């Protein structure tokens, strides 16, 4: 089958081996997949990953090895990305996303979805409601990651919330807060991206005009840069919380002492609730208009990744 593979270099492979479903897995025919920051980071060496790229997708179940897979056959699904052991300390504590023996689809030890077909554990599947189109369902994983912020830190309309970053994730995080009655301020660098948010009634500020304020109860760092974290420290109020959504690999030289002086809570935040994301997509509470800036066929996967790297890009999709 065709697959977009990273083996130290990004390449389209025409005859990648077909995925085989393990006893608790099914093979899914991928319809539509999305490129996220993590995929781009992988091609820059993040996680030292080798294999088929991609973790955001919607597709149709072809079948599995065991009887249990029959009920999934032919169903349209999305899948959570952590493949877990169900037995370790974290799994038994109900914290499966933190499984000590996990693999992660397209990120660590498990082939991803930028391919014609992918094998995924049945435990990871969520059926997509009929009212949710593929073009919406493909946002389930990143939207779930956005919902994770308010799962960890319940939205409070009385609090000042700042979102740093106007990219793919920042857009969704801001909308999730807005859907809960919070009026977030988004700080970003791209005029068109900020304007998209303003059209939805979300307040924005150009990063060049941002001055330290130290008055936000919550600052969500979704810019993916060390400068974003620095700015978060300038906006969070004493005893406030900084939520880190992006994996900043090199905070080199960043002075973290304001976190100590102001007794700031720093909260890491990663994968989130698929159920809530699918429900929001079904209800249309999250506006996806203008979020997709390009769509490519799988054969143009390398070009698709290049398009996603461009500063003006939001979500780039791959039709598999
Ligand atoms: Zn992602
Ligand atoms: Zn486990």
Domain shared by 72 and 184, yes or no: no
Domain shared by 163 and 208, yes or no: yes
Domain shared by 122 and 208, yes or no: no
Phi first, then psi: what are they for 2, rounded to 5°? -80, 140
Domain shared by 58 and 102, yes or no: yes
283 CA from centroid of ligand 1 (Å)? 22
The domain of 112 spans: 3-139+291-319
Ligand showing the shortest atom-to-Cα distance for residue 93:
2
| Region for residue 319 given its phi and psi (left: phi exceeds 0; alpha: psi -120 to 50; beta: otherwise) | beta
Distance CA 155, CA 176 (A): 9
Note the pLDDT of residue 249.
61
Name the domain count of the chain: 2
* Of 103, 71, 88, 136, nearest in space to 286 by CA: 136
Note the pLDDT of residue 190.
96
Summarised one tens digit per residue, pLDDT across range 199-209 is: 999 999 999 99
* Of 169, 180, 161, nearest in space to 144 by CA: 169
Ligand showing the shortest atom-to-Cα distance for residue 105:
1
Query: Based on C-alpha coordinates, what's the Rg of the chain?
Result: 20
100 CA from centroid of ligand 2 (Å)? 5
Low-confidence ranges of the chain (pLDDT < 70): 248-252
pTM listed for this prediction: 0.95
Domain shared by 155 and 115, yes or no: no
Structure tokens at 91: 């799994």
Tell me if 118 sits within 8 A of 27, measured CB to CB: yes
Domain shared by 296 and 212, yes or no: no
* Of 100, 18, 2, 101, nearest in space to 302 by CA: 2
56 CA from centroid of ligand 1 (Å)? 6
Average pLDDT along the chain: 95
Note the pLDDT of residue 267.
96
Say how many C-beta atoms besides its own lie within 10 A of residue 279's C-beta: 14
Domain shared by 170 and 199, yes or no: yes
148 CA from centroid of ligand 1 (Å)? 13
Domain shared by 117 and 244, yes or no: no
205 CA from centroid of ligand 2 (Å)? 42
Does some domain include residue 34? yes
| Residue 244: CATH number of its domain | 3.40.50.720
Burial of 312 (0-12, 13-18, 19+ CB in 10 A): exposed
123 CA from centroid of ligand 2 (Å)? 13
Summarised one tens digit per residue, pLDDT across range 182-201 is: 999 999 999 999 999 999 99
Ligand showing the shortest atom-to-Cα distance for residue 42:
1
Does some domain include residue 259? yes
Does some domain include residue 17? yes
Domain shared by 258 and 295, yes or no: no
Does some domain include residue 179? yes
Tell me if 31 sits within 8 A of 320, measured CB to CB: yes
Domain shared by 184 and 298, yes or no: no
Structure tokens at 104: 């992660």
Residues in CB range of 58: below 8 A, 6 or more apart? 30, 31, 32, 33, 76, 77, 78, 128, 134, 137, 138, 140
Distances in Å between the Cα of 136 and the Cα atoms of 141, 200, 272, 282, 317 are 11, 18, 17, 9, 11
Domain shared by 14 and 118, yes or no: yes
Does some domain include residue 91? yes
Domain shared by 74 and 169, yes or no: no
Note the pLDDT of residue 251.
59
Phi first, then psi: what are they for 260, rounded to 5°? -75, -50
| Residue 55: CATH number of its domain | 3.90.180.10
Does some domain include residue 58? yes
Does some domain include residue 66? yes
Q: How many helices (H) and strands (E) does the chain have?
A: 10, 19
Does some domain include residue 284? no
159 CA from centroid of ligand 2 (Å)? 36
Note the pLDDT of residue 256.
84
């Amino acid at each position: 089958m065709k697959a977009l593979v990273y083996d130290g270099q990004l390449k389209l492979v025409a005859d990648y081996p077909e995925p085989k479903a393990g006893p608790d897995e099914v093979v899914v025919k991928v319809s539509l997949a999305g490129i996220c920051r993590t995929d781009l980071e992988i091609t820059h060496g993040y996680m030292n990953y080798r294999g088929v790229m991609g973790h955001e997708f919607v597709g149709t179940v072809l079948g599995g090895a065991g009887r249990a897979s029959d009920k999934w056959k032919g169903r349209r699904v999305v899948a959570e990305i952590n493949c877990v052991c169900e037995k370790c300390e974290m799994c038994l504590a109900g914290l499966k996303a933190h499984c000590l023996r996990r693999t992660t689809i397209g990120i660590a030890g498990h082939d991803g979805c930028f391919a014609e077909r992918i094998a995924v554990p049945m435990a990871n599947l969520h059926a997509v409601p009929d009212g949710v189109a593929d073009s919406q369902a493909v946002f389930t994983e990143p939207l779930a990651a956005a919902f994770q912020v308010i799962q960890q830190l319940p939205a409070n309309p009385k609090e000042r919330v700042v979102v740093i970053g106007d990219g793919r994730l920042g857009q969704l995080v801001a909308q999730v807060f807005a859907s809960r009655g919070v009026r977030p301020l988004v700080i970003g660098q791209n005029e068109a991206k900020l304007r998209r948010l303003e059209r939805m009634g979300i307040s924005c500020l150009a990063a060049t005009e941002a001055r330290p304020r130290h008055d936000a109860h919550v600052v969500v760092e979704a810019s993916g840069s060390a400068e974003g974290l620095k700015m978060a420290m300038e906006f969070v109020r004493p005893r406030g919380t900084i939520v880190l959504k992006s994996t900043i690999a090199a905070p080199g030289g960043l002075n973290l002492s304001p976190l100590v002086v102001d007794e700031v809570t720093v909260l890491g935040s990663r994968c989130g609730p698929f159920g809530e994301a699918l429900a929001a997509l079904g209800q249309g509470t999250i506006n996806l208009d203008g979020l997709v800036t390009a769509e490519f066929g799988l054969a143009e996967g390398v070009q698709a990744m290049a398009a996603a790297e461009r500063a003006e890009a939001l979500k780039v999709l791959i039709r598999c």
